[in-house]
Structure 1
Amino acid sequence: MGNKLVGRLGAALMIVAGVAVFAPVAAAEEANWTAVALEVPADVFSVRVNGTDGVDKIVGSYDGFGEGGQIRPGVVWHGTALTVLGEAFDDLTDLTAINGGGVAVGSHASIDEQSQAVKWTGGHYEDLPAPAGSASVATSVNERGDIVGTADGQVILWPVSAPGTYRLLPMPYPTFATGVSIGNGGTVAAGVLEPVGSGPNRAFRWDSAGQPHELRRVEQNYGHSVLTIENGTIAGSANLLGAVIWKAGGKIQRFLPGIQLYGMNANGDLLARGDEGGSWFVEENGVRTDLPTTFLPSYPTTLFTNGTVAGYSYDETTFEQTAVVWQRT
């Protein structure tokens, strides 16, 4: 995300790629946050909180030890209550995204093998097809069940309308994609690395015909990345500059200088932090609400539609992190 502070989140009229972009005033607002621990078994040593359905479900995994050594089952929290889905095909499993229908996606792999994209549906795991010998990961699923991810770094789509099939989307460069996400309308977005020696990441969207189009750049010579798509709006960053919100067609809707973006919900609310540190915050309708200083995650974190944050708390004495849901009270 962005690293060089251009300006605190506030009133800023900027000319970005020839377009005037206004970052509205975000007045600080005090709030009391309560960290409610997510259920995990007592003997785990690592917990991943990766994504939500926006309402009340969270997906991820945890690491522990079993009779055969390390275990990593995929899990779902409904509220804070834990459901262990288990390991996909007896492999280490991590789930990264879930939709409102309970379809969860991610990948599994043994320690010495390549990753295999997988989905949880109908009470069981199913491998997602991919080119033979490729390392595949599913990263996003929309409400109708379309899934996207990567296969050897290439953008791959598993359409719900054609179960058991996949489609490799054309890449703008013969490199690899990151942050691959799909919206409910079927728009796919990702960051794609320029060929070695020619430049940094660029942010792209793929239209309904599967063709890539670059999202508008904040500055021509800076890298751009994609975080997520929500309600047709694409969120990401102009690296070293700040956070960017793009309209579905690729035009810049908003630029937030000096801000690192970590989450956006269906309302367009943001989970973010200044790139020189300071408090993490949730921004709703231009109003910033700081999270406690004990919110200091080293793993992914995500934002519910109601502004609740799924992530971690940090013990400043023991330096331990606990998977929690941060609720405003």
Structure 2
Amino acid sequence: MWDLPAGADVGTLDGYDGERWAVGITGNRARMGDGIMNARGTLWDHGKVALRVSDEIPHLNDVNAAGLVVGDTVVGNGFVGITVDHDGTTHQLPGDPAWDGYSADLVSDSGDIVGTATVDLKSRVVVWPAGAPGTYRVLPTPDVKYLHLQDVDRQGRIIAQGDSNVGGLVWDTDGRWRQLASNGTPWAVRDGRVVGGLNDTSAAAEWTARGTLVRTTGSGALDATAIGGNGTAATGSSTPSGGRCSGVTAWSATRCPPSRPGSPSTGSATTNGRWSAWNPAGRSSTTAADR
């Protein structure tokens, strides 16, 4: 369970290392709709609030197992990518003055930071490598109108969601983007294994880092949302109950996350979810992913 700071009554988890650190937003429930008023970026350490920023920015987008927080803030007339110390101090990542703006969206457990830069209304994927501080490189980026970076693994593989006619994408260590087979949405990548869901059949799925579909499950799971350290993939199925999740929940269409640490952290504040685990052999169990 994740504590809420004083004065807040709702929150989201946007980044989680699977064991200790998490980042997201806390604030107050909107009087109408699902929004959050007085939203402030928040960092948790073992479920306890370690930092809540004092204003709407900076945004805290992700955190790794070492506690490295990345996000974005406004400098001048545009957004810039940053790292954030646990006392709220921000450090701007280098960028190209020709960019209209940029953000740090993901950070791997190796310390590589991945983000997006906007140039003439088009997105470019940018990597700030841990092994070369103060530098960055722009990756060849698919020519799509929409690109959302979802996850990065320790080896530097990146998964993303593109336009509806493109679907899921994976950047492998050979330096190429590939579409996921069978119109899939990726949620997590670990050691070259990509998990997510099929858009056309609402089934949890796994792919290789080259986009090849490995297997699906027809057991009622809508998505595979996390991969544990032992190779177990956690999947979720919707069980609407009309209740509410307690504590902090993360945005998703239909599910609440389990309350115990190490479980998948996607969900909503309006339904309860059943979670099962999918191990490398494809067998189901009732435990969550062991990260």
What is the TM-score with the length of structure 1 in the denominator?
0.63
1:137 — aligned with what? Answer: 103
Corresponding residue for 2:198?
Answer: 238
Letter in structure 1 aligned against 2:141: M
Shift of 1:44: 2.7
Larger radius of gyration: 1
Question: Structure 1 or 2: larger strand share?
Answer: 1
| Structure 2 residue 127 is the aligned partner of structure 1 residue 157 | yes
Q: Retained in 2: the 8 A contact 1:155–1:177?
A: no
Partner of 2:284: none
C-alpha displacement of 1:137 = 2.7
Quote how far apart the aligned CAs of 1:254 are: 1.9
Q: Deviations over 1:32-83 (max 9, x none)?
A: xxxx4x322332354222121111222112237xxxxx86543221222111
Detail structure 1 runs of 4+ shifted over 6 Å in the superposition: 301-306
Is the CA contact (8 Å cut-off) linking 2:250 and 2:257 kept in structure 1? no
Alpha-carbon separation, structure 2, partners of 1:166 and 1:255: 37
Describe the shift of the 1:108–1:168 C-alpha distance in structure 2 as closer, same or farther (beyond 3 A). Answer: same
- 1:160 to partner: Cα distance: 1.0
CA contact (8 A) 1:173 1:192 kept: no
Matched, 1:249 2:231: no
Give 5+ residue unaligned stretches, structure 2: 29-36, 272-286
Task: Check whether the contact 2:166–2:179 (CA below 8 A) recurs between aligned residues.
Answer: no
2:47 paired residue among 53, 77, 80: 80
**Alignment-mate amino acid for residue 53 of structure 2:** G
Deviation (angstroms), 1:141:
1.1
Query: Contact 1:179/1:225 (CA < 8 Å) preserved in 2?
Result: no
Instruction: Tell me the residue number matched to 2:276.
Output: none
Code of the residue aligned with 1:99 in structure 2: it is N
Q: Say whether residues 1:41 and 2:5 are aligned partners.
A: yes
Work out the number of aligned pairs and report it.
250
Using the aligned pairs only, state the percent identity.
22
Give the counterpart letter for 1:51 in structure 2. Answer: G
2:71 aligned with 1:106: yes
* 1:127, distance to aligned residue in structure 2 (A): 2.0
Q: Match for 2:205: what amino acid?
A: V
SS at match of 1:119: strand
Q: Give 1:114 deviation, angstroms.
A: 4.4
Q: TM-score, normalised by structure 2?
A: 0.70
Whether contact under 8 Å (1:149, 1:181) holds in the other structure is no
Q: 1:134 to 1:46 in 2, by over 3 A?
A: farther
More displaced stretch, 39-48 vs 49-58? 39-48
User: What's the counterpart of residue 186 of structure 2?
Assistant: 226
Q: Which runs of 5+ in 1 are unaligned?
A: 1-35, 65-69, 194-198, 281-291, 317-326
Rounded Cα–Cα distance in structure 2 between residues aligned with 1:313 and 1:209 = 36
Higher normalized contact order (CA 8 Å, seq sep 6+, divided by chain length): 1
Superposition CA RMSD, Å? 3.6
* Equivalent position of 2:168 in the other structure: 203
Please tell me whether the aligned partners of residues 251 and 268 of structure 2 are also in contact (alpha carbons under 8 angstroms).
Answer: no
User: What secondary structure is seen at the aligned counterpart in 2 of 1:201?
Assistant: coil
Tell me, yes or no, if the aligned pair for 1:154 and 1:176 is still in contact at 8 Å. no
**Matched residues in 1 for 2:259 and 2:174: separation?**
31
Q: Provide the C-alpha distance between the structure 2 equivalents of 1:315 and 1:150, rounded to a whole number of angstroms.
A: 31
In 1, Cα distance between equivalents of 2:250 and 2:239: 15
Where in structure 2 are the equivalents of 1:177-216 lying within 5 Å? 177-193=147-163, 200-215=165-180
